[in-house]
Amino acid sequence: MNIRIPDTLPTMSAAAQTLPDRIRRTSSRTRLIGGVAVIAVAAFIAWRIFGGPAVHQRPAPPVEVTRVETKDVAIVEHTIGTVLANATVQLTARIQGQIVRANFVEGQLVHKGDLLFQIDPRPYQAAYESAVASLASARLKAERDARLLAANAVAPQDADDAKAAYLEAKANAETARLNLEYTSIRSPIDGKTGPILIQPGNQVMASAGTGNSASASSGTSNTLVVITQVQPVKISFSLPQADLARIQDRQHSNGLSASIDNHAADGTHIDVPIDFVSNAIDNNTGTIELRATYANADSRLVPGQLVDVGVTLNAIKGAIVVPHDAVNLGPTSRFVYVVKDGKAEMHEIKVLYDGGSEVAIQGDVKPGDTVITDGQLRVLPGKAVDIVPSRSGPKPATP
């Protein structure tokens, strides 16, 4: 069988041989078009940023500003203080017996000499009366032997023994009287009572000394109640030893006082004189303790309470003052932005004192200058800024 090969085969083979050249030519054209497109986009972006119309320029950043002032600035050292009781007494029984009555309520203000507890006095009353009777008998015998000795009717030894017995009976009677007196337990100070630690009806033992407060609170000692003097109270706080020279200067010139903030609802502070400066620096903390005394007539402060304390140690007269938010931290120093002719200028400063809300500064800043207090992160030195109204006040005059 004869197979005839088509005459078109040589033509298809020739077309296949020319295909790679066509693909190469097409890829070259595609890369050329892509490169031109990239260049065009980059040129358009550059034109929009640098060469476009003014309407496409970066807008001036909005900022809040305020005026620089001059005023006297008090240098105040702030710390935390603790309210201390002027005196604390743990009341205990001096004799053994049963508590029959408590003459106060827990938390009551009591005065020195007030009757607080009554121990059953009957055994001690009987002992006192017996001692008084023995004393009377001993006295009579001592007086009789003294008369007989004067008449040489008794031996001197017998007279001496009678006198000694009288003195012993007198001492026993005095002891019995004191024990009877101790059945009435009275307050030794003016103060405020805590909880009753041993309730009436319980038997108490004589206490040779006072227990600690921890054992008293747990009921393991003979403490009946703890009385704390709350009028007056002391406020104890510590300042760095670096302030010692200023503390001494202030103490010798104008006197030291402390402003106490106990975070009252009305926001008022308490000004009290400082009447104690410790005689030694605490080596562990590098601080020195100070104390101020407050009358506390309104019982505003409570022993153990933590309060904020401010102590004025010095003052800067006629200081240049800016808000704390106007001060910025640069790579090498602090600075503020001063707005002149609608543009921000960076001025380096030195902080003399930072009071928290206001800062006393030194540098190329004059009273009346306008400084930026908010929006500094978007500001470029020498560039225009847009002054907007402050959230805390009206918009200042444009400089």
In a domain, 303, yes or no: yes
According to DSSP, residue 242 is labeled G
In the predicted model, is pLDDT for residue 136 greater than 70? yes
Q: 244 and 288, same structural domain?
A: yes
Q: 258 and 279, same structural domain?
A: yes
Q: 290 and 237, same structural domain?
A: yes
pLDDT of residue 137: 94
Residue 265: pLDDT band (50, 70, 90) is confident
Q: What is the mean pLDDT of the chain?
A: 84
pLDDT single digits (tens) 297-356: 988 899 999 999 999 888 889 999 999 999 999 888 899 999 999 999 999 999 998 888
In a domain, 209, yes or no: no
Enclosing domain of residue 343:
62-70+318-387
The residues, any chain, with a CB within 8 Å of residue 200's CB and separated by 6 or more, are 99, 100, 101, 102, 117
Q: 332 and 311, same structural domain?
A: no
Q: 345 and 311, same structural domain?
A: no
pLDDT of residue 48: 57
In a domain, 1, yes or no: no
In the predicted model, is pLDDT for residue 9 greater than 50? no
Q: 347 and 291, same structural domain?
A: no
Q: Which of residues 291, 316, 341 is at a domain's end?
A: 316
pLDDT of residue 40: 66
Which of 253, 224, 396, 378 minimizes the C-alpha distance to 314? 253
Which of 266, 260, 252, 250 minimizes the C-alpha distance to 294? 260
pLDDT of residue 102: 96
Question: What gap in Å lies between CA 99 and CA 91, rounded to an integer?
Answer: 13
- Express as a percent the part of the chain with pLDDT over 70: 80
In a domain, 329, yes or no: yes
Q: 287 and 343, same structural domain?
A: no
In a domain, 377, yes or no: yes
Q: 297 and 329, same structural domain?
A: no
Residue 116: pLDDT band (50, 70, 90) is very high
Please tell me the total count of domains within the chain. 3
In the predicted model, is pLDDT for residue 76 greater than 50? yes
Q: 306 and 322, same structural domain?
A: no
pLDDT of residue 283: 92
- Express as a percent the part of the chain with pLDDT over 90: 59
Q: 325 and 302, same structural domain?
A: no
In a domain, 243, yes or no: yes
Q: Which of residues 273, 291, 316 is at a domain's end?
A: 316
Q: 334 and 295, same structural domain?
A: no
pLDDT of residue 398: 46
CATH number at residue 261: 2.40.30.170
Question: Which stretches within 254-303 are classed as H helix?
Answer: none
Averaged pLDDT, 221-243: 93
In a domain, 18, yes or no: no
In a domain, 282, yes or no: yes
pLDDT single digits (tens) 25-56: 555 555 556 665 667 666 666 555 555 554 45
Q: 305 and 269, same structural domain?
A: yes
Least trusted range by pLDDT, from 33-42, 104-113, 207-216: 207-216
Averaged pLDDT, 112-121: 96
Question: What gap in Å lies between CA 310 and CA 262, rounded to an integer?
Answer: 12
The residues, any chain, with a CB within 8 Å of residue 317's CB and separated by 6 or more, are 72
pLDDT of residue 42: 65
CATH number at residue 137: 1.10.287.470
CATH number at residue 365: 2.40.420.20
Could you tell me if 116 and 185 are in contact, meaning their C-beta atoms sit under 8 angstroms apart?
yes
Q: Which of residues 264, 288, 316 is at a domain's end?
A: 316
pLDDT single digits (tens) 143-185: 999 999 888 888 999 889 999 999 999 999 999 999 999 999 9
